[in-house]
Amino acid sequence: MNEENKESIEQYNKEIASLVKSAFIMRIVGYIVLGIAVILFVVGTILIYRNLDNEEKLTYSYLVVELGSIFFSASIALFVVRIAVFNTKIRNRLIRIEYLVQTQNINNNQPPIDNDPKYSQKDLDLVNEYKKLLDQGLITKEDFDKKKKEILGE
């Protein structure tokens, strides 16, 4: 791999690490804001029930619940932004790295990396489940081979 591609990949890796760290911090902040919202909802609800006979205090109780709904909305916004923005940026960096590796392989006359697996993860998981049954002695080797052939289409 040429030096320029190595440096680009290292830079993308650093960017990904930074994005993952930022996304983690944003997740923590989102949970904190969500926790505050829950506390405000609970406190507001308790105040409402305690102040049903006092209209002035009841108004303040409703305001506490409203504040809780604002914090709840803010926490949802933080989660959505984190998912939409950070995941997209990370995915883009990974695509760029893959492109650099593919380009390097083509330049070195190596076959491109096959990212399209022959079998789906669901099929492989199913075969693994049958393997566990075989290992536990619940099915025979012949049954396992038959199911494996059936699932993988071999």
Cα separation, 78 vs 115, whole angstroms: 32
Residue of higher predicted confidence among 119 and 74: 74
Q: How far is 126 from 105, CA to CA, in rounded Å?
A: 33
Tokens for 103? 């380009």
User: In this predicted model, which residue has the larger pLDDT, 11 or 100?
Assistant: 11
Domain map (residue ranges) of the chain:
3-107, 121-152
- Reported as a single tens digit per residue, the pLDDT across 100-110 is 777 665 555 55
Question: What is d(CA 46, CA 34) in angstroms, rounded to the nearest whole number?
Answer: 18
Tell me how far CA of residue 12 lies from CA of 7, 66, 108, in angstroms: 9, 43, 22
Worst-scoring range by mean pLDDT, 18-22, 51-55, 65-69? 18-22
pTM of the entire predicted model:
0.53
Give the model confidence (pLDDT) of 107-144 as tens digits.
555 555 555 567 777 888 888 888 888 888 888 888 88
Q: How confident is the model at residue 154 (pLDDT cuts 50, 70, 90)?
A: low
Q: Quote the crossing angle between the two packed helices 141-152 and 121-135, to the nearest 10°.
A: 180
Which two three-digit tokens encode residue 88?
A: 């997209």
